Structure formats: C-alpha cells, structure tokens
Structure 1
C-alpha cells in the first residue's frame, strides 16, 4: 500500500506551502531588519523540522537556530494537555528576540509552555511562527512576550493532519504536502 493512499484529502499542496513559507519569511525579514540582535529561531522538534529548514533559507537576515523538544502527544492523535520539555536549548536566549517555530498550534498548551520557558530564560521578546493554526481546538490562549508577533501560515479545520514534518506515530513526516490522514489508519 502506497504512503499516499493513506491520505483522505490533500489540504495544502507542496506549491501552496512553499509560497506561504516565502511570505512568512518576508514578514519576519521585514519585522526584524532593524533589530541590533539577530533573532533566534527555535524549532520545535520534530514536527517543525521541514518548515524550519525551508523558512530559514528564505529569511534574508542573520539568524541563529536552535531546537527544543516538547512532548504532549506520544503516539496518539490528541494532546494529553501536559507538555514537558524533554530537550532544551543549547543557545543562550537572554535579551534576544526568539521566534518559536511550530508545525501546528492545536490546544495551545505546548506553545504556552514553550513561551513561558523562553521568557524564563530571559528572552526580550517571544514571537511564534506556526505553519498551521487550529483555533477550533484552542484551550489555552497564548500570551506573547515583549514585542512578540504571531505568524500563521494557514488556519486548519479540526482534522488530524500529517505531512511536511507532521506525523502520526512518527510516520508520514516525509509527505511533501499536508493531508488528512484516513481515520482507519489511526483508529
């Protein structure tokens, strides 16, 4: 059975994702071009890996890059609501502008945890750049730090999506598009 046959519907094709990532990179470039310190882009492993790689290649600024891992899904399809940071930054973000790069903002629990974590490390501002935003599932509203901004690629309806870095049980990340996984695959 082909990997693609597990997808019920393609929501965001590869070319649409590439165009939107370029637009987000332009917004970030414009917003941070006059800052004395380059921003630190913090990718949330593992889901944001492809998005982060494409995004940083299109940002026309000096940037630093680091990763953090925050777990709240395990191998399921629903966040357990209790995120924990299992891999921390190696860079010092004190007095720096941090942009947390996420694949998807769902309940908001993980993102709120990460923002608070960056603030506790002394970041002067914390922005968020998420490829997908699912406001219908939001349980925790995010409070940005300093002059932080919220960059959103696409609003996503309440579907279980995979591809372009997003997974189900650590699979499907390699799909070049974002699609709805057939329910029989994860039920």
Structure 2
C-alpha cells in the first residue's frame, strides 16, 4: 500500500490551457523525476525495442515528419524531435476523426542536479464539454499515470507485465488513487466540489469497474 501511495505522490499533476491547431485545448500535465540519465530516459521513450517493453509496440516512419502507429492505440505524426530533450507528436485515436479530434502529446526531459531526469508530459486536447463534465481530466490522466509507473519499472530494470498488472488488487488501488489525485488537480484548476466528486466517481468506475 505504501508503495502505491509513493508512486502516486511521485507525480505532480496539473491542468492548463493552450492553443493547438485543433483549437483551444485543455492540457493535462504530469511531472515525474527518474533516477536515470536524460540519455537513458530519452532512449526508453524513443527506441522502438525499449518502448514496446514498457508502453506499446510502435511502427511506422519514426523520423521527424513521419507517421507512427501504436499497436491497438493511437497514431499520429512526429512534429518535433530534438534529441534528447523534446518530442512532440499528434495523437489520433479512432477512425473517422475530424481536425478537432487531433490532440498533441509533448514530452520534455531535463537533467536534475542529482544526475536524475525530470520528465514533463503534456497532453493537449479539445475536449467535448459533455465528456469533460462526466469524466474530467482523469479520463486521460489515469492512463498516463499508469504509463509513467511502467516507465519507472523499466528504468529500474524490472519486467512490467501491464496486462497482468491491470487486473491485480494493486492496480485497482493505484487507479483509484490516481483518479482521486486528478480530482485534486481538477479542483485546483477551478472545478467545484460537486464537479470533482462526479468526475472522480465516473473515472474510478471506468477504470475500476465493480
């Protein structure tokens, strides 16, 4: 239990706003430090062989301006790739999408004084008001929390079987606490207590069904 709490507390979560080609977007921001060099974290996030071990298999033209496909998940274009500091891609999920459905994911890495690396992940999307009112930031935030947890295990040299982990009691506890943490970030962004309670409950039910 304490390890789960530590993993939740290792991430700083906040919300913001920015303009992307799709329009005025809400930004989900995660910050986490890793006990690994910038070069190692960059390699883990961009090398297809390593990426599949903690995130998802990826295919496509993995160069600037190229298009990628995450197996069973999102696809998009590589907009910026400045090794080993900055990666920005479009994020397209599903078929028959319109321009407003194209979000952007950005990963920034910087060295910390102790030799570790600060990773900042931003996911900017134009969100349907009805969907946002139902789920809030946890809809995407809980998933990214899980990814950063998996990356931490990978950087420690551990094998992380996400498919098995997702059905464990530890995963259910982690996702429940993640939804609550995103509720706190939502409140700090200006959401009312009722809005926070509604979205946290819906997000928790989605990720941790009874």
On whether the aligned pair clears a TM of 0.5, the verdict is no
Q: Tell me which structure has the larger Cα radius of gyration.
A: 2
Q: How does the TM-score come out when normalised to structure 1?
A: 0.27
